Amino acid sequence: MKADPTDLTKLLDLQGLDTAIAQAKAKAAGLEVHQIIAACMKQRAAAADNLVAAKTALSDATAAADRAEADVTPVRERLARNQARVDAGQMDAKALSSAIDEIAHLKQRVSDLEDAELEAMEAVEMANAQLGEIAEQADQIDQELRRQVDARDATVAELAAEAKALAEARAEEASQIAPDLLALYDKIRARSNGIGIARFEGRRCLGCGLQATVTDQEAYLAAPADQVLRCAECDRILVR
């Protein structure tokens, strides 16, 4: 293939733009903030599970406290009734003795139930405090996640704007290159890790980094200025 040497120079400039575009895209995809966000998402999911568990624990503790209150209330009422009967002095000796014995039993029963009620109330207090701590942790994780997402979006937007500007410059540069040469370059670039053209300096192709044989070097140097050279090793277009 023949090509105007100036087109080859423009093609090198185009390669520079294509490389810059690829680097901008790779940088956007490889930002460390993506990993930070992924870690925050895992923490957020764990916090959500912890919140559910803490709310369930609080609900169970509250239900237990309500049951304890429900258990002690009728016993207190019965104790109060019996005490009132004794205080009224309207019972015979046998009934009074029986009532006094029952009052003693009821007082012990009330004491035991009040201890259980107190424990249940303390469990509610602890569950409520734990829920508050977990909720605060979840809120902090959400705040950090939002901060990291905002930072990512801002950086990605900058890189996208940079890539867009490069793409516009690339389109302008490409329009000035012979279509058949441009098509060859794009074809090679697609199968050669994004590098379709490279300089030949000394005895080395800067595309693949390999040194040319003496025979290949002589052939490159002897070729007409308008001949499109191809690296014997990597098949990329060469510019002397």
Q: Which two three-digit tokens encode residue 174?
A: 């490409």
pLDDT at 103: 85
Question: Phi and psi dihedrals of 224, rounded to 5?
Answer: -60, 155
Using a 10 angstrom Cβ sphere, with 0-12 exposed, 13-18 middle and 19 or more buried, the burial of residue 86 is middle
Q: Residue 100: what pLDDT? A: 85
Q: Which CATH number fits domain 1-27+178-240: 2.60.40.1220, 3.40.367.20, 1.10.287.1490, 3.40.640.10?
A: 1.10.287.1490
- Express as a percent the part of the chain with pLDDT over 90: 75
pLDDT at residue 175 greater than cutoff 90: yes
The CATH class, in words, for 31-168 is: mainly alpha
Res. 99 pLDDT band, cuts 50 70 90: confident
Question: In this structure, what token pair is assigned to residue 181?
Answer: 């040469």
What's residue 96's pLDDT? Answer: 78
Asked if residue 177 has pLDDT above 90, the reply is yes
Joined tokens for residue 52: 């559910």
Residue extent(s) of CATH 1.10.287.1700 domains in the chain: 31-168
Cα–Cα distance list, 197 to 38, 129, 194, 239 (Å): 38, 66, 9, 7
36-91 pLDDT, tens digit per residue, is 999 999 999 999 999 999 999 999 999 999 998 898 899 888 889 888 888 887 77
Q: What is the pLDDT of residues 116-158, one digit of tens each?
A: 889 999 999 999 999 999 999 999 999 999 999 999 999 999 9
Across the range 169-176, mean pLDDT stands at 95
- What is the location of CATH 1.10.287.1490 in the chain? 1-27+178-240
Pairwise CA distance, residues 38 & 41, whole Å: 5
Q: Please report the pLDDT score of residue 79 as a whole number.
A: 86
Per-residue pLDDT for 202 more than 90? no
- CA 79/CA 100 separation, integer angstroms: 10
